Amino acid sequence: MLEKTFVMIKPDHVELSDRILDDLDRYAKRITSVRVDAVPREIIEDHYSCHKGKPFFGFMTDSFVGRPVVLAVYEGENIIRRFMDIIGPTDPSKAPPYTIRGKYSNDSLEIALSEKRPVRNVAHRSDSSPEFARESYVWRDYLDIDY
């Protein structure tokens, strides 16, 4: 099934965004990509609204505010599932070395939580078609895509 997915290169890895997007380009067609130089608080809080109320929500969203990210939208066959595999598990310490998170991060979710900071896991990606629709709508002022 042809799908679209949303990818966000996180602030700690923006300097590697060209390499990361080139890696992803091998697996799907990039529809658009854009750098956002200073993430607004309301946008990142809306993006991660499913985590509101969790102990890490504040320090996670704070780590984005005023910092750069790179956004991209990809399209391809079963791309959501494929990008979940290609980008790898949330915890980089558990990510195989051939995944984006395994290749570009040596952080650990356990260490990050003990230090009360977000895990440096390189990128966010949509986990479903409804989530792609919601996320791309949240970032609609930055993305050049048809809805």
Residues classed as catalytic:
124
Distances (CA, A) of 51 to 19, 24, 45: 29, 26, 9
Cβ neighbours of residue 6 closer than 8 Å, sequence gap 6 or more? 71, 72, 73, 124, 125, 126, 131, 132, 135, 136, 139
C-beta separation of 122 from 9 below 8 A: yes
Can you tell me the distance from the alpha carbon of 38 to that of 5, in angstroms, rounded to the nearest whole number?
22
CB count in 10 Å sphere of residue 126: 24
